[in-house]
Chain A
Amino acid sequence: MARIDLVDLAHSYGGNDAPQESFALKPVTMTWRQGGAYALLGPSGCGKTTLLNVISGIITPSRGKILFDGEDITPLSTQKRNIAQVFQFPVIYDTMTVGQNLAFPLKNRGVPKAEIDKRVAEIGRLLDLEPYLNRKATRLTADAKQKISLGRGLVRSDVAAVLFDEPLTVIDPELKWQLRSKLKALHRELDLTMIYVTHDQTEALTFADTVVVMHDGRVVQSGTPAELFDKPAHTFVGYFIGSPGMNIIPAEVRGREARIGGHVIALNRSYDALPAGAKIEIGVRPEFVEVVAPAPGLLTAKIERIDDLGRIRFARARLGDAKLAARAPAGFTSADGTAGLKFDPSYVHVYADSLLVEGAA
């Protein structure tokens, strides 16, 4: 159990001399609290797995340091770091029984037999593997095998952190939910730091108390699910999280007003010191835009279709070249295929070169 600090950490598969734009993991400095449940969220190829492997020591970073409780462990090998990791596909040791598989990490570290038996029994119980402890691990299904992999990650009580690299990919959707809630329960019970890599936002938002969003090798935001939803720090976070994602519309912003094609949208805060020459956009989640009957003073958009998601309906609209989604209230229909857009000013954010700009009150 430990606090993990990353200090100016970066990794390039092409070596340290490669241009920084090509780095798989761009310099990052951040802290992972002891006992936190983190999700590392991002699309495929954004550097999540690289970051995870750097923390576990499978990859030695090109630059920067990793501290466990303030102690620099960057040069230590994986075996010497106190870390557990579960991989995307189940890894089981064919010749061993389920129990022996679970005991393997402890046995390699010379833990006394009585202690091993106790831990294996406990993890077996927590993961519902008890009936299989004496069975050969090869003859089990993929689900059960992945549970064994999870078990091997959780069996050591002294680890600094348990890292999960998309561990539920091979699991059936039904069981996925069960296992995820199980992991969450285990997190509460065992007081371990857990870092969970995924590209599935539902998985990330349900598992973690802190979600770290990565994009193109960079950590773009880290916060609670609510923070990510209400106040995305980067346009990428805006459209990656939420379904449908945030609407990003190019606009001219001056003071408390944003202009889109001559129409004015009121803003809650004042933006006077926007960087010159930057690409200015406003971002607003579809939940906070409403389509209404066209009226003077409202931005008019062309309705392309209306998606009925059951409890909520979203209109897909077109505004010049930009596409956007907006909430369609019950009973809304458009006679001529156009509609007015009503924005909720407190949820309209301003982005300069994709980064959130905090306005003045």
Chain B
Amino acid sequence: MDKTVNQKAWFLVLPVFLVVAFSAVLPLMTVVNYSMQDTFGNNQFFWNGVGWFKELLDPSTDLGGRFLASLGRNLFFSLVILAIEVPLGIVIALSMPRQGWTVAACLVILALPLLIPWNVVGTIWQIFGRPDIGLMGYVLNHIGLDYNYVSNDIDAWVTVIVMDVWHWTSLVALLCYAGLKSIPEAYYQAAQIDGASRWAVFKAIQLPKMNRVLLIAVLLRFMDSFMIYTEPFVVTGGGPGNSTTFVSIELVKIALGQFDLGKAAALSLVYNLIILIVCWIFYTVMTNAGSDRKPQEGAA
């Protein structure tokens, strides 16, 4: 049958083109445009080429120093919360009941922190940790710990990390739980027959069967923690000093605080690029992890 050529169909995709153009392509191009220029206000712009990018990657300049320091903090933060949330999530998933009404109860309780808007989470912990009126802050100081996230760097970090663990471990636990549920009962029975210990069951069955959901969990948690803004901003505002200033907080300071559009545009492009690269690495790793399972020809 001959295909009818009907160019009118293009009109049907036109709305999507327009939406994508105005919501993604044009803003992005504007940012690229800004990143090559400098402005002193009054809508006057001066060409700066790759100047901002050079400065950004040079730790001796103000911009570069601030960017690289916050990037370091960001990576450290992601590393710490992954190191806590992933094992903790696995442990929680393993200790959850596998049937009965308690399953539903556990799932609801686990899902609660995930349902709370980020700035509310920040506000909760901001008040929770205050030494004067916050339950945690008051109790900690009362039992003799000198805890004050407003003035002490380490206290501020601990608060931000504990807050993230409280907020997001559930996600890892739920993903792991889903992974565990998909393991057929026969595997556990076979392991019993084979005389496997609890630890051997975990190592030989549960962990390997969870590795895909774990990759997804690590990816999601890394991306999210790498882009973290709201919660630390509400709790510590990036302080004390710059000790909890992450890249996103730095970006907002430069863009909206100082109104250095060029610097901010360059920073956000590099920031974006890092996230894209990490995404790509994870995607590649995950796809390869999957291809490992396909049977090979002639392997019978």
Residues of A within 8 A of B (CB): 53, 56-58, 77-79, 83-85, 87-89, 91, 93-96, 104-105, 108-109, 132, 135-136, 138-144, 149, 152-153, 175
Contact = CB atoms under 8 A, between A and B. Distances in A.
A57 B300 CA distance: 32
A139 B296 CA distance: 6
B190 A139 contact: no
A132 B300 CA distance: 9
Contacts of B207: 95
A143 B186 CA distance: 17
B196 interface: yes
B209 A104 contact: no
Contacts of B187: 91
B205 A139 contact: no
B7 to A, nearest CB: 49
B190 A85 contact: yes
B292 interface: yes
B88 to A, nearest CB: 23
Given A104-B204, A141-B295, A144-B300, A85 B195 contact: no
Contact of A104 (B186, B196, B208, B293): B196
18 contacts: A53-B189, A58-B193, A78-B193, A93-B204, A93-B208, A95-B203, A104-B204, A105-B194, A108-B196, A136-B292, A138-B293, A140-B296, A140-B300, A141-B295, A142-B295, A143-B300, A144-B299, A153-B193
B102 interface: no
Interface string B258-284: 000000000000000000000000000
Contacts, number: 78
B287 interface: no
- Interface size range on B against A: 20 to 34
A87 B190 contact: yes
Contacts of A88: 186
Contact of A85 (B189, B200, B299, B300): B189
A94 B193 contact: no
Contacts of B194: 104-105, 108, 152
Contact of A139 (B186, B204, B295): B295
Interface in B193-249: 193-197, 200, 203-205, 207-209
Contact of A91 (B190, B292, B299): B190
Interface in B70-110: none
Interface string B153-190: 00000000000000000000000000000001011011
Contacts of A175: 300
Contact of B193 (A56, A96, A139, A144): A56
A182 to B, nearest CB: 14
Contact of A140 (B192, B205, B209, B295): B295
B208 A79 contact: no
Contact of A79 (B186, B195, B295, B299): B195
B3 interface: no
B126 to A, nearest CB: 44
B294 interface: yes
Nearest to B208: A94
A58 B295 contact: no
B299 A77 contact: no
**6 closest A-B pairs by CB:** A91-B190, A108-B195, A78-B192, A105-B194, A94-B208, A93-B204
A139 B189 contact: no
A109 B197 CA distance: 10
Given A58-B193, A77-B192, A85-B189, 13 more contacts: A58-B192, A78-B189, A78-B192, A84-B193, A85-B193, A87-B186, A93-B205, A94-B209, A104-B204, A135-B299, A141-B299, A152-B190, A152-B194
Contacts of A84: 193
B300 A108 contact: no
From B197, B294, B295, name the one whose CB has the most chain A CB atoms within 10 angstroms: B295
B196 A139 contact: no
B199 to A, nearest CB: 11
B192 A149 contact: no
Of the candidates B194, B200, B203, B299, the one having the most CB atoms from chain A within 10 angstroms of its own CB is B194
A96 B295 contact: no
Given A139-B294, A139-B295, A108 B200 contact: yes
Nearest to B192: A78
A83, A91, A144 — most chain B CB neighbours (10 Å)? A91
B32 to A, nearest CB: 45
Nearest to A95: B208
B208 A83 contact: no
Given A91-B190, A141-B299, A143-B300, A109 B195 contact: yes
A79 B192 contact: yes
Nearest to A131: B299
A132 B299 contact: yes
A144 B294 CA distance: 13
A138 B200 CA distance: 18
Nearest to A132: B299
B294 A87 contact: no
Nearest to B207: A95
A221 to B, nearest CB: 29
A16 to B, nearest CB: 21
Given A108-B200, A138-B292, A83 B193 contact: yes
